[in-house]
Amino acid sequence: MFSSLYPIAYLITLGALTGWFYFRDNEQKAPLFRKVFFGALLAYAICWLFASGSFSYKFAVLLRELVLLAILPFLLSMFRKVTWAYFAILVVSVISLKKWYFPELGSTFPQEVLAEAVQVDESAELLIEVREGHSLNEVQPILDRFGITATPAFTMAHPEATDLDDYFALDVPSANAELLYEVREVLRENEAVEWLEANEMIFVGPEEATTARTTRRRFGFNDPGVTQLWGFEEMKVGEVAKVLAGTEPKKLALIAILDTGVDAGHEDLAANFVSTKSRYDIDRRGHGTHCAGIAAAVSNNGVGIASFSPNNKHVRITSIKVLNDSGFGSQKTIINGMLEAADRGADVISMSLGGPSSDRQQRAYQKAVEYANKKGAIVVVAAGNSNRNARNYAPANTPGVITVAAVDTLLNRASFSNTVEDLKWGVAAPGVAIYSAIPGSKYGLKSGTSMATPYVAGLVGILKSLKPSLTTEQVYNILNDTGKKLKTGKKTGKLIQAGEAVRRGVKGGGVRDEG
């Protein structure tokens, strides 16, 4: 509570003091602004006193705020008799504060966010990046002071292509919110530390669905479960086979499902599946298998369901297990999965996972995306299922990914789906009552942006099979240009249209090679 009230109380205090200085000769207005100032100042003091954080940090914050409280009103008061100059300085000050200072003010006490909004991995609570030209030895005294164990955070085949080899995972013994916050602040002051962020926990839990909209169309497939794939009708999947007729792919694109594992022996996946590691080929939760079926189920084999590729010549799937059997994972395990998928030659990395983010910038995620892009992979991520803005959810908010919102059977935004209006590359796909594979060669219905994401990943896989050099931006432009406008507008982005997108991919229309 105090974290949220703190910036409001401070801004009112600053505004009231400015007004008091300006109207100090006005017998009616001056007392009013003076009362507001002291009331807001009292509220600010209470928020400061009870906000979480070490005393040294809170004292430094107090000095920062008092300096601004002294400078801005004094500066304005010097021009109070020159009205145009006063208001010109006021406008410039407000614009400058809004751009550079207000965001900092809103996150002054992020510890409560860290403790309440997200969970961190108890075996590795923090991730730090050691600055180039420095070493972990320079940080070791701090680690020893708190009894922290540091280990390399990430593993990749080509460390020269990224800075992620400079990251270390920190295990803070018996860590609580107060201790974590103190550790963060001490580390931030160390010259050898380039960056620090929480190693946040991720959990997947799609809503189970019991009924589905059915269709009488078969879209050219002989798979019996196709009539339950209502989204095929809305995404114009029936046109894909016609567009691809007589066209040979330039490669067999690999889609990596980063999830709870995949049932590699499933009757409707096995022929399209390639194993990365045997321990990834088991899925006790069922989430990864369901996503894999949506992305690349074997089409026209007379069993189960179908995917976008009618002749199975365009895509194959593999599994990278980044979540445990209960559906939990951490930022560290997910990023390592991204690196492994990229090193294994994945053309598409599909991540139906995510969670609220306490850090304003997910730098490690972004570096992992950049590494994957250099290897030729496109990263597709779920927007999240909290009915909020995806800009506050990671890795959905990571620059360089295509983020997927979910729509329901009426093409409204799914009630649970996060929105993507503030993200650069957001699109929509069906995500309610989606029929797909589950372990044991069975099938079932699930709902979530988790289900919408592999629809996009599967379509991107086909596009990459037709033109392997496609970049994320080029693929997004195809999906957006050919997508169907929805009444939900930018909150969901456009609904992908498989037939038209593949037609654009075959013709190369609107696709410009970079460089």
For tokens 């292509």, name the residue: 161
- Scanning 245-398, the segments in alpha helix (DSSP H) are 287-296, 331-343, 363-374
What is the Cα–Cα distance from 262 to 283, expressed in whole angstroms? Answer: 5
The separation between the first and the last C-alpha atoms of the chain, rounded to the nearest angstrom, is: 50
**Given 121, 166, 223, 259, the catalytic residue:** 259
Kindly state the DSSP code that residue 174 receives in the 8-state scheme. Answer: T
Answer whether 404's CB lies under 8 Å from 381's CB.
yes
**Given 309, 330, 450, 465, the catalytic residue:** 450
| Catalytic residue status for 3 | no
What is the Cα–Cα distance from 335 to 124, expressed in whole angstroms? Answer: 14
What is the Cα–Cα distance from 288 to 332, expressed in whole angstroms? Answer: 19
Q: Cβ–Cβ contacts within 10 Å for residue 116, how many?
A: 13
| Catalytic residue status for 287 | yes
CA-to-CA separations, 336 to 153, 263, 332, 465, in angstroms, rounded? 8, 21, 6, 25
**Given 266, 287, 290, 314, the catalytic residue:** 287
Residue 140 in 3-state DSSP?
Answer: helix
What is the Cα–Cα distance from 338 to 189, expressed in whole angstroms? Answer: 30
C-alpha closest to that of 38 among 7, 16, 67: 16
What is the Cα–Cα distance from 74 to 104, expressed in whole angstroms? Answer: 22
Phi, psi of 64 (to 5 degrees): -60, -45
Based on its alpha-carbon atoms, the radius of gyration of the chain, rounded to whole angstroms, reads 26
Maximum separation of any 2 CA atoms in the chain, in Å: 87
Q: Cβ–Cβ contacts within 10 Å for residue 102, how many?
A: 13
Residue 496 in 3-state DSSP?
Answer: coil
Amino acid letter, 473: E
CA-to-CA separations, 249 to 309, 313, 502, in angstroms, rounded? 11, 7, 12
Give the number of C-alpha atoms closer than 13 A to the C-alpha of residue 223, restricted to the C-beta side: 28
The residue count for the chain: 515
Q: Which residues are catalytic?
A: 259, 287, 450
